[in-house]
Amino acid sequence: MKKGYLFVLIIGFSLISCKDTKDANDTKDVKTNSNTEIIEENITSDTENSNFDITKIPLSNFKITEIPFYSLPTGYEYSHKENRDYESIRFWVENSFVLPEGNLFFGRIIPSINKSFSALELTKNLDKVFTDAGAVKVFEGKVPLEAIKKNEDLHPITDYGLKANAYGFQGFSKTWTYVIRQNNQNFWIQLNESDDNASLHVAILKTKAIEITSQLIKADDMKLSLDENGMIALYINYDTNKTEIKPESKPILDEIFKLLTEHPKLKISIEGHTDNTGDKQYNIQLSELRAKSILDYLVNKGISSTRLKSKGFGDTKPIKENNTEENKALNRRVELRKIE
């Protein structure tokens, strides 16, 4: 088989390892003001009426190099824990959810063998280490169920592992939200009780800006790959569970338009693919709609619909095993295939 060129855009991230222990020599200084230039977080909220102002939280100098940054109390362990390099989840503050983005740790804490569970013991221990690190508790209580429903209508969750272990029984049981504000990053912490008095769910998000490492594939490169391989894989950005193409991906679509304009006899099939997160049939429908959105974009710019087809395959044709976040990112792709 003739070897060709396959050009792929990948958003790459560096992985941050997760440990249960924290260096006892870390500084615990917390300061309330600073002459340092502070990079404030741009917080997304579910409502325009949010009163939360992160700049009112005192700055902390506590050195945090990894998350989690604490050890669990004696007699407790994680039944599940996970680190994700870049994620966004909801945190309840005052009267709304906020949705920071960054490195996420989440897990479910249970008692060890021969240890009875005590939410009071566990939350008092964690409250102590959080506040020693400069955290401010910004909420304690039950999150309104109507607010959770509104949030999930706006941001549907198909990652049920994340939902179960990061949110627990939020809305039905007690929630605690903490924020550690620092001069170059913030830490959002959330505890959610279970409904059976047997476990506690924890989520910690270290804010960071997304690193854009993608490079634009030009029309000539697309043509070369189509000629050599009959296809090309592209990584086009959409919001989670949405079909609208994000603005940063429009230049890729414009290169596809240029390709078709410069080669008027070329016909292509636009094929959408997802990872295996969530419901299989839903993923097929989502990938079909996403592929169709690209077709519609090209037709609206003047490409004849007779030169285009679109189809969605969901997670049925992975190019990598869906066993890591990096592989899942590779599987979430759009393929252009040459129609002979």
Encode pLDDT of 276-325 as tens digits: 988 899 999 999 999 999 999 999 999 999 999 999 999 999 999 988 87
Torsion on CA atoms 97, 149, 142, 136, rounded to nearest 10: -10
Residue 17's pLDDT band, with cuts at 50, 70 and 90, is very low
CB 260, CB 301: distance < 8 Å: no
> Which H or E run contains 200?
strand 200-207
Closest CA to 272 of 303, 317, 302, 305: 317
- Pick the more confident residue, 111 or 236: 111
Mean pLDDT over 138-163 rounds to 90
Examine the pLDDT at 340 and tell me if it is beyond 90. Answer: no
Query: What are the CA-CA distances from residue 210 to residues 12, 13, 100 (Å)?
Result: 10, 9, 12
* Pair of tokens at residue 251: 């230049």
Examine the pLDDT at 1 and tell me if it is beyond 60. Answer: no
DSSP letters, 219-260, are HHHHHHHHHHHSEEEE---B-TT--SBPGGGHHHHHHHHHHH
Give the distance, in angstroms, between the CA of residue 11 and the centroid of all CA atoms in the same chain.
13
Query: Beta-strand (E) ranges in 16-154?
Result: 76-88, 91-93, 96-98, 101-111, 136-141
Q: What is the pLDDT of residue 48?
A: 54
First to last CA, the chain: 18
Residue 24's pLDDT band, with cuts at 50, 70 and 90, is very low
Structural domains in the chain? Answer: 54-207 (no CATH), 219-338 (3.30.1330.60)
Rounded CA gap, 7 and 99, in Å?
33
Rounded CA gap, 159 and 246, in Å?
21
Encode pLDDT of 84-130 as tens digits: 988 999 999 988 999 999 999 999 999 999 999 999 999 999 999 99
- HEC assignment per residue over 279-308: CHHHHHHHHHHHHHHHHHHHHHCCCCHHHE
Q: What is the pLDDT of residue 42?
A: 52
* Amino acid residing at 230: G
Q: What is the pLDDT of residue 101?
A: 92
Q: What is the pLDDT of residue 51?
A: 76
What is the value of pTM for the model shown? 0.61
What percent of the chain clears pLDDT 90, i.e. is strictly above it?
A: 64
Asked if the peptide bond before residue 68 counts as cis, ω within 30 degrees of 0, the response is: yes
Give the distance, in angstroms, between the CA of residue 227 and the centroid of all CA atoms in the same chain.
35
Residue 213's pLDDT band, with cuts at 50, 70 and 90, is low
Q: What sign results for the dihedral spanned by CA atoms 66, 70, 71, 72?
A: negative
Rounded CA gap, 203 and 153, in Å?
21
Rounded CA gap, 169 and 243, in Å?
29
Encode pLDDT of 158-179 as tens digits: 788 888 899 999 999 999 999 9
* Pair of tokens at residue 239: 């919001």
Q: Taking each helix axis as running N to C, give the angle between helix 250-262 and helix 219-229, from 0 to 180 degrees, rounded to the nearest 10.
A: 70
Q: What is the pLDDT of residue 142?
A: 95
